[in-house]
Amino acid sequence: MKKFKQKLFGNGNKGGNPGGPRNLVLAVLFFVLCLALLTKLGDLTKGVTQIPYSKFIEQVEQNKVKSVRVDGAEISGEFKDGAHFVTVIVETPTNWELLKKHNVEINVEEPANSMSFWYIMFLVMLLTTVVPGLIWYFTQKSKNGSGGGAGGIFSMGKSRAKLFMPSTIKDNFNSVAGAQEAKEELYDVVDFLRYPAKYQRLGAKISRGVLLIGEPGNGKTLLARAVAGEANCPFFSISGSDFIEVFVGVGAARVRDLFEQARKKAPCIIFIDEIDAVGRHRGSGMGGGHDEREQTLNQLLTEMDGFETTKDPVIVIAATNRPDVLDKALLRPGRFDRRVEVPYPDLKSREQILKLHAAKVKMSPEVDLQKIARGTPGFSGADLANLINEAALIASKTDQTDINLNDLEEARDKVTLGKENKSIILTENDRKITAVHEAGHALVALLLPEVSDPLHKVTIIPRGRALGVTHSLPVGEKHNATKQEFLAKVAMCLGGRVAEQIVFNDLTTGAYSDFRTATEIVRNMVCLYGMSEKLGNVIYGRRNHGEFEFSEKTAELIDAEVLVIMDQCLAHANQLITANRDKLDLLSQALLEKETLYAAEIYELLGITPREDLRFNI
């Protein structure tokens, strides 16, 4: 009896049929309706005899007919002995006279209000075939969790994770360019999924939870899919926000359903993207410890602890760019105890990523992808993919047969600075000011060998909000910076303002972004890097609530020190440009004529010998 009740009503949150009570009510209603129609049909057909028209006339003339019911050409009636009959007549005036003469009770019904035998038969067939089919269809739909309306309500506790079987996963570690250290960390998981006995024979337990940490676009999701592809196992993918719903208990039910499905497919991988949506510190919600998100997190913690009871492993890989907001219980050993950093790609990784995406387009063989990689520091994998796509779009617009270096340069400028602004029409005076300003930046960069990122190109073509840009291109990947490099970079930033003062003896607003960059560099030198003799090797940061960690007197000393360093760099830039005024005029005039100059052209124009580390890279 108990099993019958569970089968009929379901098991509630334990994976039973949530539509059991509803289906029972529908079945009872359907049965009662069919019974009523069949009873009506029985009443209508019980004792009814089909007689010919001639016999009907004969029975009327013999006074054996008690009453008739006229329904168009059909007459049904009752004999005086209680028997029922039905016949079809031809309507003539003599028929009515005959019935009236023999005192037959006549009842006439409207055809629209009558219920004929065949009409009832049609309804019975409809209810016994179509209606049960519709009930079965919507029941199956609600079980599968698809569709909206009532079906969606009854399937709300079902997991929304997408299941990818091994045959559909084409990614592997070869699909992921760069991220070598992350792949090495994840290979342990792959090896465990492939050969669990190798670890179990020594009593080792592999991490069942792996947390991928990195900024958006660096390939966390791709790495998780690559693990599933390498291990050749099923892959469940879901976002952290897919667990949360306005109804209490739905998130926890979805977590239970997800892990129940995963255990049936084990060994497998569950990937939870943006886990910080559900895994934040408990106690921070509006409902204290009882809000929906925290109940979902509690269920997730419970399910991850229950892995040891399963024979085959279920590995959970989660991704986030906010590990600082995750609950400590998630990060303890036994849950997400293995943390894999997925950083921005370095120079070598950027080159590999560019080659991977360049293989999918028609790239000119003359293109040096290493040079493009050098010019894209701070780009994520997604940014580099977008760079190749933008270059392909630019080349397609001009009907080129392949993508060349100029297309990639244009795409990089578009991504970093914005599209070339052709709607801005500069006056001749504005063009001169912009040319002198950018020439000042470039000249200081050429005259200061301490500048870590050497000059690449200078342009006075407006892009985005900038009227002109001086590009620097890193020689290689740098992980440290010196005080002299910072001071040289600040002097380069201030070179534009100095050049304007020397040539026009006036000030413009064009140096705003330069001042902002230079001030940020100098303030970091003083407050964070201990590069101030007066303030010493102390970090002067901010508290979490925006309050300074130092006194007002110290703040005044910081402001004074920042101003001193800025003035020193400004004087250094002024000295360099004044001593090389002829080179400034020559470079600004060439920019007015050509609008864009590359480093090799500038070195040749000014007669300056390139730096040793640039002679083979220009």
Q: Is 76 helix (H, G, I), strand (E, B) or coil?
A: strand
Angle at 250 (CA atoms; ends 248, 252), nearest 5 degrees: 100
Tell me the CA distances in angstroms from 433 to 163, 266, 464, one per residue in order.
Answer: 60, 68, 18
Determine how many CB atoms are found less than 10 A away from the CB of residue 420.
15
Q: What is the pLDDT of residues 433-475, one digit of tens each?
A: 999 999 999 999 888 877 667 888 888 888 777 788 888 877 6
pLDDT digit string, tens, across residues 297-322 = 888 888 887 545 556 778 888 998 88
* Strand positions, DSSP E, 420-499: 455-459, 469-472
Neighbour-count burial of 595, counting CB atoms closer than 10 A to its CB (0-12 exposed, 13-18 middle, 19+ buried): middle
Q: Which residues of 344-371 are buried (b: 16+ CB within 10 A; e: fewer)?
A: bbbbebbbbbbebbbeeeebbeebebeb
Residue 131 has pLDDT above 80, yes or no: no
* Helix axis angle, 428-447 to 599-606, nearest 10°: 80
CATH for 47-114? 3.30.720.210
Average pLDDT estimate for 188-208:
78
Question: Does 419 score more than 80 pLDDT?
Answer: no
Superfamily of domain 162-341: P-loop containing nucleotide triphosphate hydrolases (3.40.50.300)
pLDDT digits (tens, 9 = 90+) for 549-581: 778 888 889 999 999 999 999 999 999 999 999
pLDDT digits (tens, 9 = 90+) for 89-101: 766 667 777 777 7
Band of residue 17 on the pLDDT scale cut at 50, 70, 90: very low
**Catalytic residue numbers, as ranges:** 438
Contact 158, 243 (CB under 8 A): no
Q: Residue 546: what pLDDT?
A: 53
Alpha helical stretches, state H, 398-427: 405-416
Q: How far apart are CA 342 and CA 218, in angstroms?
A: 7
Residue 494 has what pLDDT? 94
Instruction: Give tens-digit pLDDT for 140-189.
Output: 555 554 444 444 444 555 767 788 888 888 888 888 888 888 888 888 88
Residue 127 vs residues 62, 132, 194: alpha-carbon distances, Å: 44, 7, 55
Residue 288 has pLDDT above 50, yes or no: no
State in words which class domain 347-416 has: mainly alpha
Model confidence, pTM: 0.64
| Domain-wise residue ranges, the chain | 2-41+119-154, 47-114, 162-341, 347-416, 428-614
Lowest mean pLDDT among 102-116, 181-195, 353-367: 102-116
User: Among the listed ranges 106-120, 284-298, 399-413, 532-546, which one has the minimum average pLDDT value?
Assistant: 106-120
Provide the pLDDT for residue 284: 57
Q: What is the 3-state secondary structure (H, E, C) of 35-50?
A: HHHHHHHHHHHCCEEE
Q: Topology of 428-614 in CATH? A: Methane Monooxygenase Hydroxylase; Chain G, domain 1 (1.20.58)
Mean pLDDT of 37-48: 57
Instruction: Give dist(CA 435, CA 280) in Å, integer.
Output: 52
CB contact at 8 A, 423 and 415:
no
Task: Write out the two tokens for 30.
Answer: 């359907």
- At residue 524 the predicted structure's pLDDT band, cuts being 50, 70 and 90, is very high
pLDDT computed for residue 149 by the predictor: 40
